[in-house]
Structures are given as structure tokens and as C-alpha cells.
Amino acid sequence: MNKLTIRDLDAAGKRVFVRVDFNVPLEDGKITDDSRIVAALPTIKALLAQGAIVILASHLGRPDGKVQDSMRLRPVAERLSQLLGIQVNVTGDALGVGTEDAIKRLKPGEAILLENLRFHAEEEKNDPAFARALASYADVYVNDAFGTAHRAHASTEGIAHILPAYAGLLMEKEIEFLGKLMENPERPFAAIIGGAKVSGKIKVLRNLVDKVEVLVIGGGMANTFLLAQGKPVGKSLVETDRVDDARAIMESAEKHGTKIVLPSDVVVAKEVTRGTEYKTVSVDKVPASWNIVDVGKVSIEAMRKALEPAMTVFWNGPLGVFEIPAFATGTKEVARFLAGRAQAGATVVVGGGDSVAAVEQQGLGDRMTHISTGGGASLEFMEGKELPGVAILLDAAPAAAAE
């Protein structure tokens, strides 16, 4: 998937509309994790250094088309200003005369941030008039928000029909790493898929089962596979309507020679809460009134052994009820193991969500090969779906034609 990027763009003196993903967590008006802002800095700095006028745009939260003071982007603009070392003001609204005037006053090498795009319902509806209004601010469009690339919204897809559309450096990195996983991974290739439910990841499992040598399944979704094998799962989270899907995936794995690794021992708890009683049991002996909440030590060791030869690993989703520290052991152990594999030369890509949180909490982020900024987007990419926000970007000339 070869797209034109800002490396192919002469941005000097141009007004560049940059869709970023500044959907950061806030508590009492303060940012608790600025990693998404930091991830966008290379693109913003590169454009400013070229002498572009940069118009940044993002959503924050789910305001459902209404102005919500708790979802204003002022804290983001303040943090961005600190990180860039220049003042970046936020507009009062994404549209309007005041915003137009503020953009007209910008000089090359300056930036502004539009107020939360989703204060307008037209954004998520991909309204053509709203897209035209956004496009009127700029000469060129850059998408650096991979986390929203699976949505055809006005600022991710509609605007790219109007302006020449390029990938930002973060978008380029996402396409490069995830694209290589799907098209030309170094082998052996392994995937670890966890999380609560099979239903949300059934398509990615189907797409990966014949592409990997090893498929490790953990988290709540493993319960459905255990049930498909006739194992007792007690009161655990399980999707009985997905048992046939689980069986089909296991049959497909056998047909393609793919090794599936499921838990052989599990941590079970009386309740899925902090401070509850818990113990480790074989998957054949889960008590009827208990809940599976994590993988056991034997399972962790089996997963390590299966993953050891892998030269490429994709990981999405925790292996237990990660929010409760007592049930986060499997997830944390796998994070540490993968960090070691990445340091030893394997390509390790962590695909969004709680698996990223597990990595970051242990300070292992910079030891992984790539951490995807898009949970839903990276999953849909790994399902083999075309992402609207990526597909609409300008294609680069094929290598042969370029020579």
C-alpha cells in the first residue's frame, strides 16, 4: 500500500489541513496521557519547518454533535504549545467567521487548532457541505490520524475528495508496519489475540489463521474456544452463540498447519472484583460458580515456548481481566516477553487497546518495534478491510514507473 506522504509535498507557504488524533484521556480538565499528541509531533514539526501554515483538526470524546465544555480542546492546545515551544491557539468553533479570520492571520511556520470537530453532527455523517467548509481553509490535506482512518467522516474522507491528500509521518509508519504484517512478514509469524469477546475479533481471527504459524488466544474470548472443546467455563464471560465460529477457526488452523495455543491452566475467581478469592486450576477443572480471569503459569510458559521462534508478532488484547492488578499477570508477562523478543531482533507490533496500556504501564513502549495508535483501525486493517481514511489518500507511483 504505497501512498504519497508529506515527504513528497513542498509545503512552503501552503495552508495545510492536518487531521490528527488528539482524542486524549482527560480527568478534571487535565490530560492524563499525552502520547497521542507526542505521536503527531514529527508531522507537525516537519510541516512548520518547511514554512507551512498548519491547521490542526481533531475530535475528542463522543459529544454527539453538541457542544460539551468538558470535551473542549483547550487542554490539548496548551500541552501542544508546550511540546512545540510555540503558541498554538484553539478556535472557538471549527466553523465560523471568527475561525476563518484567525486562519487568515496565520503566517508561515504558525499553527492553529480547530475546536472539537464532533461538536458538529455533520462530521460523523460525512456531510459534503461540512467537508467543503473545512477544505476552504487549506490548499492541501494531510491525514495523520490512523486511529480514525477506519471511519468515513468529513475530516477523514470527505475533505480528501476536495484537496490533494497526503499521509502524515505517523500514518506512513502505521501503513508500513501493518502492511508488512499482512503482505510480507518475516517468518515464523505469530499473533496473540486477547480481549473480552470473540465476536469483536472473529474477522481478524479468520483472516490471520492461514497467515500465521502460531495463533495464541487468551482473555475472555479464549473461554468460547474452551467451551468449543467441551471444557467447563463456570460463570465466566462466554459467547455461546460463537462456539461454532470458534470450532471453524480451530478446524481452519488444523487444515493450514497453524498451531493454536489456548490456556491449559487458568486463574479463577469467585467474583470479578478486587479483593475476591482466587486460585489457579486446570482448564478441565473450572468450578461451576467461579470465573476465569487470567491465564495460569503453565499457560504463560507454553505461550512463551510457542512464541520463542517467531520473528514477527502481532498482539492485540489482554490475556486476562487486566484492569484488576491480581488478574493482570498473564498480560504483563507476555508484554515483558515480547519486549525481550523485539530487543533480540524480532518485529513486534502491538495493536492498540489494553495491550498498549499493559506495555506503557511497565515502561516497555520504546522497546517494542511499533505500537499502533489505532485500536479499531489496526484490527480492521488486520481483518483485510480497506480503511476509508487510507484508501482516499493519493497513491504513490509504482517503484518501476518512478525509476
- Please tell me the distance from the alpha carbon of residue 59 to that of residue 332, in angstroms, as a whole number: 31
Give the integer Cα–Cα distance in Å for 308 and 367.
17
Asked if pLDDT for residue 403 goes beyond 70, the answer is no
Q: What pLDDT score was predicted for residue 196?
A: 87
C-alpha–C-alpha distance, residues 277 and 283, integer Å: 18
Residue 87 CA neighbour count, 13 Å, CB half: 4
pLDDT at 328 over 50: yes
> What CATH number is given for 185-382 in this structure?
3.40.50.1260
Q: Decide if pLDDT at 107 tops 60.
A: yes
At residue 276 the predicted structure's pLDDT band, cuts being 50, 70 and 90, is: very high
Q: How far apart are CA 23 and CA 67, in angstroms?
A: 16
Give per-residue pLDDT as tens, 368-383.
999 998 878 888 899 8
Domain ranges of the chain: 6-172, 185-382
Residue 168: helix, strand or coil by DSSP?
coil
Write down the pLDDT at residue 197. 87
| CATH fourth-level superfamily of 6-172 | Phosphoglycerate kinase, N-terminal domain (3.40.50.1260)
Catalytic residue among 197, 259, 336, 385: 197
How large a percentage of the chain has pLDDT more than 70?
A: 98
Give the model's confidence band at 200: pLDDT under 50 very low, under 70 low, under 90 confident, else very high.
confident
CB-CB contact of 292 with 223 (8 Å): yes
Identify each DSSP E strand in 304-369 by its residue range: 312-316, 347-350
Q: What is the DSSP letter of 239?
A: -
Q: Catalytic annotation on 353?
A: yes
Asked if 29 and 86 touch (Cβ cutoff 8 Å), the reply is no
- Is-same-fold flag (6-172; 185-382)? yes
Q: What is the per-residue pLDDT for 402?
A: 39
Out of 194, 296, 353, 389, the active site residue is 353
Question: What's the burial of 348, exposed, middle or buried (CB within 10 Å: 0-12/13-18/19+)?
Answer: buried
Q: Which pLDDT tens digit goes with each residue over 335-362? A: 999 999 999 999 999 987 778 888 888 8
Active-site residue, from 15, 36, 72, 211: 36
pLDDT confidence tier of residue 266, bands split at 50, 70 and 90:
very high
What does the DSSP 8-state code read for residue 226? H
Predicted TM-score (pTM) above 0.85:
yes
* CB neighbour burial string for 5-25, b if at least 16 within 10 angstroms, e if fewer: bbeebebeebbbbbbbbbbbe
Q: Is 197 a catalytic residue?
A: yes
Which residue's C-alpha cell is 483547550?
A: 74
Note if 36 is an active site residue. Answer: yes
Q: What is the pLDDT of residue 241?
A: 95
Give the model confidence (pLDDT) of 154-180 as tens digits: 999 999 999 999 999 999 999 999 999
Distance CA 34, CA 23 (A): 9
DSSP H stretches of helix in 105-184 = 121-124, 128-135, 169-183
* Percentage of residues in the chain having pLDDT higher than 90: 86
